[in-house]
Amino acid sequence: MGTTWNLAPLQDWIEANHPNDKHAAELPHSLRRSAYILDYHLTQARDAFAEFQPTGSDGFEMFAAMASFDPKFARAALVHEANVIAAIHTVRNYADIFAQLANTLAMPKPLEIRDCDFGKVANGLPTSDLKTKMQELNASYWFRYLAAFSNISKHRRLLQSKPTTTFADNVTGLRVEEFSYQFKKHEPETTFPCCWAHDLLEEAYTVYRNILQQGQTLNDHVTQ
């Protein structure tokens, strides 16, 4: 939980250097609010199964509740799934808002707002530490997974998450189905194997922390 990003210096810089740019002035506020919303969804998803995971549990309570079709387990599974999906969308939104901020403050010739996305900004920035970090994240497996998951669930269909138990690993939880996504017309589809929802939640948070670190780099880039 240790990664933080102090937005105040950027807010001050925008007010001093772009006093009439309403769009730029709103971006730090949007990022702060998004961070609170993400924290809410992460907490709700994390605690959804708390009743079935007492301290020191070997996982039997979760398995028994799932196997017996306990209505309380079904409700907990719904809460978990809904908040995992919401957390993914929020992280993706956070990345897009960050790209708008980097576009406004660090691009020699900013892209039009409607044309701005994380990858375009990453590729359009001058050679810098910020450019390198954005490009690395944009090409990473989990950033691409979140982008594909978000786009499919918003525009095509809701990806299924099913209660599952693996006795070999002694794990019970929701397992997200395998899916494929084509990022660009000239590229083949990328297949993403099924994964545990709790692992997906952790990886989404890791992507979010990576963006916070890039925010620190943006601070240095703009205010130096």
Q: With cut-offs at 50, 70 and 90, classify the pLDDT of residue 2.
A: low
**158: CB partners within 8 A, 6+ apart:** 85
Predicted confidence at residue 61, as pLDDT, reads 75
Query: Average pLDDT of 5-15?
Result: 90
The length of the chain, given as a count of residues? 224
Cβ count near 211 (within 10 Å): 23
Which tokens belong to 14? 């925008």
Predicted confidence at residue 211, as pLDDT, reads 97
pLDDT at position 202 over 60: yes
pLDDT at position 116 over 60: yes
Which among 181, 125, 175, 117 is positioned nearest to 149, based on CA atoms? Answer: 181
Which tokens belong to 120? 């375009």
CA distances from 90 to 39, 94, 123, 188, 193 (A): 10, 6, 23, 27, 22
Q: Look at the block and give the residue holding tokens 């807010």.
A: 11
Query: Average pLDDT of 3-15?
Result: 88
Judge whether 38 and 87 are in contact, CB under 8 Å: yes
Which among 24, 76, 14, 21 is positioned nearest to 50, based on CA atoms? Answer: 76
Print the SS3 string covering 99-118: HHHHHHHHCCCCCCHHHCCH
C-alpha to C-alpha distance for 173 and 59, rounded to whole angstroms: 10
**87: CB partners within 8 A, 6+ apart:** 38, 41, 42, 45, 201, 204, 205
- Percent of the chain past pLDDT 70, that is, above it, reads 94
Contacts 24+ apart (CB under 8 A), 196-200: 196/171, 197/45, 197/80, 197/81, 197/84, 197/161, 197/173, 198/173, 198/174, 200/84, 200/88, 200/145, 200/176
pTM of the prediction?
0.90
The rounded mean pLDDT for the chain is 89
What pLDDT digit, counting tens, does each position of 49-94 carry? 888 876 656 666 777 777 777 888 889 999 999 999 999 999 999 9
pLDDT at position 40 over 90: yes
C-alpha to C-alpha distance for 194 and 223, rounded to whole angstroms: 43
* Choice between 20 and 171, residue whose per-residue pLDDT is larger: 20
- H helix count then E strand count, the chain: 8, 5
What pLDDT digit, counting tens, does each position of 185-198 carry? 888 999 999 999 99
| Single-letter amino acid, residue 78 | L
- Percent of the chain past pLDDT 90, that is, above it, reads 63
C-alpha to C-alpha distance for 160 and 129, rounded to whole angstroms: 38
